[in-house]
Copies of this chain bind each other. A is one copy, B any other.
Amino acid sequence: MSDSFTITLPAWVAGELPAGPLPTDADRMALVHRLAARNPAEGSGGPFAALVVESATGRLVSAGVNTVLAAGLSVGHAEVVALALAQTRLGSWDLGADGLPAHELVVNWRPCVQCYGAVLWSGVRRLVVAGDGPELEELTGFDEGPMREDWAPQFEARGIAVTVGVLRQEAVGVFAEYGRAAAAGEYTVYNARGNA
């Protein structure tokens, strides 16, 4: 009887990552969209990806993709994978700990309620999302859970800056293609209970 669980980044992700830094928000989000678009076709999970980046330098600390199917764990959303890998690599459960540079999470849509909390407790100082509207749920069929209207001010009140609207149309394009392919039976769809 196992007394531990492990989430491993799918091997194909490494081949998509740049050798150098990602200076701009658009550079970072373009990579997120590339990983998110490829993830369902690889069978790892839904069309979601996230990066932990050093805000000032653009150094990529970690990438995550949705691994619900690959890991067999419902907690394995892209944000959780990226944040936990960054904490593992930096040796700290707090990415905002004294002595560390400021880190941010870049993800392709406003997080679901689980990952909203995961971001809050991670120590990142900034969240960058492509968008926050109903398009994700409408196009993919995933349920994001009961979020509060003041989700962004609640981040700001805890010292986490929020930027919304980086490569938004490209994000919608990834969700639309996922919805089309899922409806056509091209993917294993894991949202029996609707979770993203």
Measuring CB to CB, which residues of chain A are less than 8 angstroms from any residue of chain B?
Answer: 1-9, 11, 14, 68-69, 71-76, 80, 83-85, 87-89, 91-94, 96-97, 112-118, 120-123, 143, 145-146, 148, 150-151, 154, 158, 190, 192-193, 195
Contacts and interface: CB of A to CB of B under 8 A. Distances in A.
A191 to B, nearest CB: 9
Contacts of A121: 74-75, 112, 114, 145, 193, 195
A4 to B, nearest CB: 4
A87 B74 contact: yes
A68 to B, nearest CB: 5
A72 B92 contact: yes
Contacts of A73: 84, 87-88, 93
Contacts of A68: 93
A1 B89 CA distance: 7
A103 to B, nearest CB: 12
Nearest to A116: B113
Q: Which of A1, A5, A145 counts the most B-chain CB atoms under 10 A from its CB?
A: A5
Contacts of A122: 74-75
A192 B99 CA distance: 14
Contact of A150 (B89, B91, B146): B146
Contact of A75 (B69, B83, B113, B151): B83
Contacts of A80: 75
A45 B182 CA distance: 41
Given A4-B9, A4-B88, 19 more contacts: A1-B89, A3-B8, A3-B9, A3-B14, A69-B93, A72-B88, A72-B91, A74-B87, A75-B83, A75-B84, A75-B118, A114-B115, A116-B145, A120-B145, A121-B195, A143-B158, A146-B150, A146-B151, A148-B148
